[in-house]
Chains A and B, each alone.
Chain A
Amino acid sequence: MDENLKNIEDLFHYALDDNEETARKNVWEAVEKQLGKDDIISIKRKYNNIKRIAVLLLLLFISNILFNVYRANTSYSVNNTTKKYGADLNRSDEKNKNINTDLSEIIREKTNETKNKNLKNGINNENYIPTTSENINVSVTNNYKTPNLNQSSPVKQKIRKEIFNSQNDILENQTDFGVYKKKKYNANSSSRVKIKNATITEDDQLLDDTNDKLHQDIKISTLKKINDFSIENTQRLSLVFIDTKKLTKSTDVTKLKVSDTVNNTIKIYDKKSRKTSRFSITPFFSPDIAWYSLEDDKVNQQENASKIEKEERQDFSYTYGALVDYKINNHWGLQSGITLSNTNIIVDPKTIYAQQDNTGKIKYRINTSTGYGYVLPAFSSNPTIGDSIYAFTFSHSLQYVCIPIAVTYSFTKGQFTMKAIAGLSTNILTKAKIEATLENGFDDSFETVNNLDGLKKVCFSGMTGLGLGYKLSKKTSLVFAPNVRFALNSITKDAPVKSYPVSLSLALGLKIVL
């Protein structure tokens, strides 16, 4: 054999290495067209990001507006309360005027009564310091604005004093009026009211269920939202006269402590049983609209992303699980839990080819947006590389266990609760499956691949959404929560394409306060 022909590769290398050919014009046109398409896709992707940001901003904006509306309503209530004390406010309505008048009359009446008593007892009127709650130690937390009280009115000064400077003043005479006013004033803005060292001389039945004229105005129900209400060392306030049943029924007081009264006994009414827990659990089910955003893998250029994208369409997908909410305060909270997400995709019929798998065996390879798998049907158990087979039904499904952690912002309006959610989710792959029906004359073969290659075991996704709750009872609410989940990293690795799952969930659940 000739030496040159033995090394025939050199002959071809020498002849063809610098070979040049000219392509037809339509090749450049096709390249240009493809580049144009890619430009459009990249613009679309850019817009997708902008859309995501816009949705987030919209959510924040809506939350902000709703919060402001809620806050404005709250401020209005506080302002109304302030008006009751004769505050110098611009706005007033007939109702408030009437209340203000009633209260002023009561104050005047009470002050005069005390003055007359003092006169009888020989106390100089000029040195008299108006009573009410100067001898009531009231500690208030979370209160809003200081009422803008008119300094010229002695009665109003007195009110101001009772609110802010009552720590060290202890007088003989005491009416319940100040106590009542404290409660009323703090009704909308405090979570804790403490009455200490109060000496009641009149209207000992402060908290009693009496029906006299004065007490018709004094409604314990104004104590709503006060979590901790305690009365201590009120010498003249006998336990007998404290209608604790009414108090606990008519208020949201979670802890009521009455001590050192006239009987020198201590009673603690702990309403822990009525205390609303910070934790709640929401079992839910959600049908999902799921799809995969695909990108070509530049390293493993085995399949075209746009081609796979065209071949695949979403099937019924769903998520179910339980979410646990922890309420940090009235608005903010944390959400976590565990969910099981199933995504199913149907693929158009296509031809698959035999290739060597990772173990060196030759099998038919199926490429999907979520990795790849190999099948070896019984009717073609010994294929050679390049053999093809037609798969006329074809689907793949993924199952993830998701552990979300999210921040929630919620507010309540009547029976309804609105919630905005944003957070992250860790997704752990539990099942990946391909099902295909392979054509074999009249005897088709159904094949299942339970181990998809090219998938990451763990991936992360972002989530954002809204929640609308309707209160069914004190502890249960019906929740509807549409939310969007989008992958933060590709779920595939060393696969034909990079895959980023996106899903829109419409969750329906029942929230149970623990």
Chain B
Amino acid sequence: MNYTTSYKDKAELLEQPAKLIQGCINGNRYFQRCLYEQYMPKMLGVCMRYTKNREEAEDVLQDGFVQVFKSLHSFKFEGSFEGWIRKIMVNCAIKQYRTKPKMYSVVALENAQVVDTGTEEIMAYLNKKELLKMVQGLPPAYRMIFNLYVFEGMKHREIAAHLGISEGTSKSNFFDAKLLLRKAVNNSLKIAK
């Protein structure tokens, strides 16, 4: 494998995505590393939402980038490259969810309480990490459906097809996920205040 390249300047390389992609297709590790470093932070942010913790997220990220490099030749330069990578990451997260579904305890939703608070006010009390922890704390099925609906903009019908569940189950799980998150936010706000 050729590790040397004339594109010593990483910034220059990143300005030419087509050449960067071509280099990756050719198996040039330097190009691949540049691409990885470029998109890794955003993609890990995506993976973190779909998984329980950082370790699992990094596993998904690793599988995702391997898949990205293997499938790069099929990218047709139509649409956003970042969106394409993100889609692969989400697919990897779904794959991991489907092959290794985790057992989870039944959550009592009856006690979920809601307080009257605005988004800015909540954000003033809670930071991103806390909110991320709340999402990560959801049962796997709820977390997956919540992510696909809220962040990927999928319809319940599409989610059902992706996860091999019925549309009704998807809706029900999404509703439960929201209730759990509300409860978690309320609890955090109470503590913060």
Interface membership of A266, Cβ < 8 A: no
Among the 9-residue stretches A9-17, A91-99, A333-341, A471-479, the one with 4 or more Cβ atoms under 8 Å from chain B is: A9-17
Interface membership of A458, Cβ < 8 A: no
> Contact: A12 with B131, CB < 8 Å?
yes
> Contact: A2 with B118, CB < 8 Å?
yes
CB-defined A-B contacts under 8 Å, sample of 7: A5-B115, A11-B122, A14-B119, A22-B40, A22-B41, A27-B61, A301-B94
Specify which of B49, B91, B140 is in contact with A19 (CB 8 Å cutoff): B49
**Which A residues are CB-close (under 8 A) to B85?**
none
Q: How far is the CA of A10 from the CA of B45 in the complex (A)?
A: 17
> Contact: B36 with A31, CB < 8 Å?
yes
> Contact: B117 with A19, CB < 8 Å?
no
> Contact: A35 with B32, CB < 8 Å?
yes
Query: Given A2-B114, A23-B58, A11 and B119 touching (CB < 8 A)?
Result: yes
> Contact: A17 with B41, CB < 8 Å?
no
> Contact: B164 with A39, CB < 8 Å?
no
B residues 14-32 with Cβ under 8 Å of A? 27, 29, 32
**Which A residues are CB-close (under 8 A) to B122?**
4-5, 11
> Contact: A1 with B1, CB < 8 Å?
no
Interface membership of A154, Cβ < 8 A: no
The chain A residue sitting closest to B54, CB to CB, is A21
Interface residues of A (CB under 8 A from B): 1-2, 4-6, 8-24, 27-28, 30-32, 34-35, 38-39, 298, 301-304, 353-356, 360, 367, 385-388
Specify which of A8, A298, A360, A386 is in contact with B182 (CB 8 Å cutoff): A8
Interface membership of B116, Cβ < 8 A: yes
Query: Given A39-B1, A301-B92, A24 and B58 touching (CB < 8 A)?
Result: yes
> Contact: A20 with B49, CB < 8 Å?
no
> Contact: B44 with A20, CB < 8 Å?
yes
> Contact: A16 with B178, CB < 8 Å?
no
**Which B residues are CB-close (under 8 A) to A5?**
114-117, 122, 182, 185
Q: How far is the CB of A316 from chain B (nearest CB, A)?
A: 30
Q: How far is the CA of A31 from the CA of B27 in the complex (A)?
A: 13
**Which A residues are CB-close (under 8 A) to B27?**
35, 39
**Which A residues are CB-close (under 8 A) to B165?**
356, 385
> Contact: B62 with A34, CB < 8 Å?
yes
Q: How far is the CA of A8 from the CA of B114 in the complex (A)?
A: 11
The chain B residue sitting closest to A19, CB to CB, is B45
**Which A residues are CB-close (under 8 A) to B117?**
2, 4-5
The chain A residue sitting closest to B160, CB to CB, is A356
Q: How far is the CB of A127 from chain B (nearest CB, A)?
A: 89
> Contact: A385 with B101, CB < 8 Å?
yes
Q: How far is the CA of A487 from the CA of B128 in the complex (A)?
A: 52
**Which A residues are CB-close (under 8 A) to B150?**
9, 12-13
Contact with A along B138-150 (1 / 0, CB 8 A): 0011000010011
**Which A residues are CB-close (under 8 A) to B58?**
23-24, 27
**Which B residues are CB-close (under 8 A) to A12?**
131, 134-135, 146, 150, 181
> Contact: B164 with A20, CB < 8 Å?
no
Contact with A along B95-136 (1 / 0, CB 8 A): 100111111100000000011111100110000100110110
> Contact: B62 with A30, CB < 8 Å?
yes
Q: How far is the CB of A300 from chain B (nearest CB, A)?
A: 9
Interface membership of B166, Cβ < 8 A: yes
> Contact: A21 with B45, CB < 8 Å?
yes
Q: How far is the CB of A497 from chain B (nearest CB, A)?
A: 12
**Which A residues are CB-close (under 8 A) to B10?**
none
**Which A residues are CB-close (under 8 A) to B181?**
8, 12
Q: How far is the CA of A11 from the CA of B151 in the complex (A)?
A: 11
Query: Given A2-B115, A355-B101, A302 and B95 touching (CB < 8 A)?
Result: yes
The chain A residue sitting closest to B163, CB to CB, is A356
Q: How far is the CA of A48 from the CA of B88 in the complex (A)?
A: 29
> Contact: A13 with B141, CB < 8 Å?
no
Q: How far is the CA of A115 from the CA of B10 in the complex (A)?
A: 107
> Contact: A31 with B115, CB < 8 Å?
no
Q: How far is the CA of A57 from the CA of B76 in the complex (A)?
A: 38
**Which A residues are CB-close (under 8 A) to B37?**
28
Q: How far is the CB of B96 from chain A (nearest CB, A)?
A: 9
**Which A residues are CB-close (under 8 A) to B134?**
12
> Contact: B128 with A15, CB < 8 Å?
yes
Interface membership of B70, Cβ < 8 A: yes
Specify which of A9, A13, A17, A22 is in contact with B178 (CB 8 Å cutoff): A9
The chain A residue sitting closest to B66, CB to CB, is A34
Interface membership of B48, Cβ < 8 A: yes
| B42, B119, B132: residue with the most chain A Cβ atoms closer than 10 Å | B119
B residues 33-72 with Cβ under 8 Å of A? 33, 36-37, 40-42, 44-45, 48-49, 54, 57-58, 61-62, 65-67, 69-71
> Contact: B44 with A22, CB < 8 Å?
yes
**Which B residues are CB-close (under 8 A) to A19?**
45, 48-49, 128, 132
Q: How far is the CA of A9 from the CA of B49 in the complex (A)?
A: 13
